[in-house]
Structure 1
Amino acid sequence: MKLPPKRTTWISSTIAGGNRPAEADDPFEELDEQEDAPAAEASPSDLADDLAELLSDSQVSRLDEVLATHATDKWYASHPPDVVVFAESTDDVAKVLTYAYERGIPVTTRGAGVGYVGGCVPVEGGIALSLARMTRILELNPADGVAVVQPGVITGDLQKAARELGWDYPPDPASLKECSLGGNIATNAGGPRCLKYGVTRNYVLGLEVVLADGRIVSCGGRVHKNKTGFDLVGLFTGSEGMLGIVTTATLRLIPRPPCRAMLAAVFPEFAAAAGAVQGILNSGHLPSALEITDGFTLAAARNRLGADRLPDGNAHLIVEVDGRPRAVASEIEELEELLTTLGATRIDRADTEEACEAIWQLRREFSYSLRDTGLTKLNEDIVVPRSQLVELVAFARQLEQETGIAVACFGHAGDGNIHTNLMVADYHDPSTRATADAALDRLFSWVLDHGGAITGEHGVGLAKKPWIHQALGETGLDVHQALKDALDPDRILNPGKFLD
């Protein structure tokens, strides 16, 4: 067959959905108005035949339901790929990228598909390259303090395997039972324990990465200190699939703390709970987690779980400490006394593993409780300096009053990463969506003006693309573009995202 020529465009239909600021440049306008691309010299079925010959029939699909699954994530944008390829090895990924690079075919990598920003939506069609079958934990080595994994390994599965050996992999996004380590690396994911233990980047020692042209680079390694050359591990971690595709990761493990305990404290107002966060840290404590929740979220949780599961109050603070048993017992006593002096009206204490897990399960229900409201949840993972927590929620209440859109705030108070959720009724109505998008624009502008960031762990993807110039600045964006041009000059990797 005659292979397709260098790509001019591979978009075959318009993209659906998407947040956008009311007065900013619309990143979807070109897609919305574009006419169908001219026919390529090879059809998508020819492309699938080529890839099946390159790999195997069982690794390539053009079934409608498979294309639909790989057209979207948990956000609202959707665009089908022309073909889905299921890689099973580094060699598979290298073959696909070599083939795609020579022909200018776009390739969008997909992990577990549970992102919130449209990061794995193949907006230019082409190949959706799934890593979901690369699920092997290749090595667990407590002697070296490392795990070597493929990118499709589910985060919770690695944690479980490490803990069975008395070790731990600390990063724990709320979706840890369904998100993949490759996706965590792509977005530099965090979680509640970032305050004490850090984010994904702090645990990535080495990576094997397939570049856009099919070459394979190994960076970092299995040692815990390494200053050889540039920090390429840091470059690829958080790059959202736009600089290369991670096929193997060497991750740092730490000894698992043998004991933990938790406090769940209720406060009459959010300001008091936020003040308690500073009070805890100022007193010399470094909890493994500090999670805060506002009144709207608590009300939704009571509706889902029952009023008896969550007592009255307009703010909720979860404090977790871990370490040696006697140290934990002493610290949890001190913290309980401290929270009482800081205004907590009720404190529930968990001293056993089962009781701690029950509190965490309650915390994981908050997001589902907001979904149960029937409103569209625009989940924004903004970050502000900790000193701005009260001001953030005050701004959210002001935004709520001025727009009529409820705003729910909860999340990682210890590092200022507060999930600020716009709860929108009838989001698909154009006028309602315009109001919501204008509210998002105000939220992001406020966050940037107060020294914050528009994303702490979800990534930029499509959802936050309209604000990337404001967030990075002119020179910062130029540096990003230069790196992209150096590693992916034809821009075949995850095209259409925030660098296009």
Structure 2
Amino acid sequence: MSWIDELRSLLGNAAVLTDDDARQARSGDKWYASRMPDAVVLPGSTQEVSSIMQIASAASIPVTARGGGVGYVGGCVPIRGGILLSMERMNRILELNPEDGVAVVQPNVITADLQNQADAAGWFYPPDPASRKECTIGGNIATNAGGPRCLKYGVTRAYVLGLTVVLANGEIIRCGGRTHKNKSGFDLTSLFIGSEGMLGIITEATLRLIPHPQARMALSVSFDSFPTAARAVQDILNAGHLPSALEITDSFTLNAAREYLRSDALPSAARGHLIVEIDGRQAGLEQELREIRQLVHNLGAIKIDQAISEEAVENIWQLRREFSYSLKATGMTKLNEDIVIPRSRLVELVEFCQSLQRETGMQIACFGHSGDGNIHTNIMVENYKEPEQKKQADSCVDRLFQWVLAHEGTITGEHGIGLAKAKWFPEAVGSPVFELHSRLKRALDPQNILNPGKMGLP
């Protein structure tokens, strides 16, 4: 009996797919690389994942876990074939318990669905990746996803209390728990957060919920230069404010948005833009919003739009969400790099990108989470399939990463390493840390069957 027959005997024919359409549909993510697996397997429980891994381990079959498939680094590409373990059937919120401040979920719960259910109960799950309406909790944990709110609330790691994980040999472990404090041995829960499916398969997560803020308000602020917008970021924080989100945008992105939106939301003179969102108690917010508005006015803001209702705040965020679509509407390929720099180097980053743009002729758009220095730096390529343009674009990415590392930054803040950034990973973390990654991988996955070929590991 082949391993595929063995899986069908275990799970049934409907849960083991080998037709071309099913395999092609799950062969990649939003990065350009793809690879058809030998079979797509759809487990429905932790025990089934365990049984699948026992079969895979016995036959040394590669296994790549997949959630929503909306990553940007090829993290779920089954580069060595084998089993594509799609978690799509494991999509239930098992428990929502405000008394304990926890939610217990399966890995393929959509992030926005959990947020909506928590909100209906008066509670809050803060992590907010831009793809929250389609990305999954399991994928968020695998990449330690962030988003605009992480300035105030932190990234996914801050909300993971416990995990159920299936190891490469099929063993089921439970680390952490449902208490908000836990210091029992090594922090194994954190070991699996950000591990990109290379150390184990997450089948259940216990997540921390917090009370929902009573209200939120926002400002949309335009400046005549990017350095002025960057200065406003520092001044807002130096004045003692901790916004829930603080987003910055450069002139290239603003120009693309004006062309795409055909609206007067962004004045023609704007060369830098901020979104400032605050949340908390209603009465306190009104005063804080006035203070921040006065601060940016004093800095020379050329337009300030204020939002004091939920609907108005969402309208401001809709403008921000359109930035990415605006760049896509240019018709160019967008190489979206999620680098992180010390916040004080925001202007230096944009100046470097402008010099790189002048030198190469390739447009570079910068926008993102200015409060924590996580700036989405998009290299815009006219035709990425044309060999010479691809070579030049790849060279731009390399020079960007080298600059970031030389200025005490990191090459990824949210998307992960996967295939796309594997080339730079050893240099980014240094030889001793890279070797430690290798040793941990060998210890937990001695046959190298879990998402092999990622992070530059063998």
Residue of 274, 298, 321 corresponding to 1:317 = 274
Q: Aligned AA for 1:107?
A: V
Counterpart residue number, 1:279: 235
State which drifts further: 55-64 or 100-109.
55-64
Deviation at 1:47, TM superposition (A): 3.6
Counterpart residue number, 2:79: 123
**Contact 2:57/2:449 (8 A) holds in 1:** yes
Counterpart residue number, 1:150: 106
Question: In structure 2, how many angstroms separate the alpha carbons of the residues matched to 1:277 and 1:105?
Answer: 50
Residue of 252, 256, 259 corresponding to 1:300 = 256
Deviation at 1:311, TM superposition (A): 2.1
Deviation at 1:50, TM superposition (A): 2.0
SS in 1 for 2:41: strand
Counterpart residue number, 1:370: 327
Counterpart residue number, 1:417: 374
Q: Deviations over 1:228-265 (max 9, x none)?
A: 01111110000000000100000000000011100000
Deviation at 1:315, TM superposition (A): 1.0
Q: Aligned AA for 2:413?
A: G
Residue of 334, 340, 351 corresponding to 2:291 = 334
**Contact 1:48/1:61 (8 A) holds in 2:** no
Counterpart residue number, 1:59: 15
Question: In structure 2, how many angstroms separate the alpha carbons of the residues matched to 1:92 and 1:310?
Answer: 52
Q: Aligned AA for 1:485?
A: R
Residue of 105, 111, 121 corresponding to 2:61 = 105
Deviation at 1:88, TM superposition (A): 1.1
Question: In structure 1, how many angstroms separate the alpha carbons of the residues matched to 2:317 and 2:42?
Answer: 34
SS in 2 for 1:108: strand
Deviation at 1:364, TM superposition (A): 1.0
Q: Does 1:81 align with 2:50?
A: no
Residue of 275, 294, 315 corresponding to 1:358 = 315
**Contact 2:3/2:55 (8 A) holds in 1:** no
Question: Map of 1:153-192 to 2, 5 A cutoff?
Answer: 153-192=109-148
Question: In structure 2, how many angstroms separate the alpha carbons of the residues matched to 1:132 and 1:302?
Answer: 38
Question: In structure 1, how many angstroms separate the alpha carbons of the residues matched to 2:272 and 2:103?
Answer: 39
SS in 2 for 1:309: coil
Q: Identity of aligned pairs, percent?
A: 62
Question: In structure 2, how many angstroms separate the alpha carbons of the residues matched to 1:426 and 1:372?
Answer: 14
Residue of 200, 211, 214 corresponding to 1:255 = 211
Runs of 4 or more consecutive aligned structure 1 residues displaced over 4 Å after TM superposition: none
Deviation at 1:362, TM superposition (A): 1.2
Q: Does 1:49 align with 2:41?
A: no
Q: Aligned AA for 1:458?
A: H
Q: Name stretches of at least 5 consecutive residues in structure 2 with no aligned partner.
A: none
**Contact 1:267/1:343 (8 A) holds in 2:** yes
Backbone CA RMSD of aligned residues: 0.7
Question: Map of 1:7-18 to 2, 5 A cutoff?
Answer: none
Question: In structure 2, how many angstroms separate the alpha carbons of the residues matched to 1:462 and 1:370?
Answer: 24
SS in 1 for 2:336: strand
SS in 2 for 1:316: strand
Q: Aligned AA for 1:285?
A: H
Question: In structure 2, how many angstroms separate the alpha carbons of the residues matched to 1:133 and 1:277?
Answer: 43
Counterpart residue number, 2:26: 70
Counterpart residue number, 1:196: 152
SS in 1 for 2:249: strand
Q: Aligned AA for 2:441?
A: K
Deviation at 1:299, TM superposition (A): 1.3
Counterpart residue number, 1:463: 420
Counterpart residue number, 1:264: 220
* TM-score normalised to structure 1 length: 0.90
Deviation at 1:56, TM superposition (A): 1.3
Deviation at 1:69, TM superposition (A): 1.2
Q: Does 1:229 align with 2:185?
A: yes
Question: In structure 2, how many angstroms separate the alpha carbons of the residues matched to 1:464 and 1:310?
Answer: 34
Q: Deviations over 1:83-133 (max 9, x none)?
A: 000111111110111110111000000000000000000000000000111
Deviation at 1:280, TM superposition (A): 0.4
Question: In structure 2, how many angstroms separate the alpha carbons of the residues matched to 1:373 and 1:52?
Answer: 46
**Contact 2:3/2:59 (8 A) holds in 1:** no
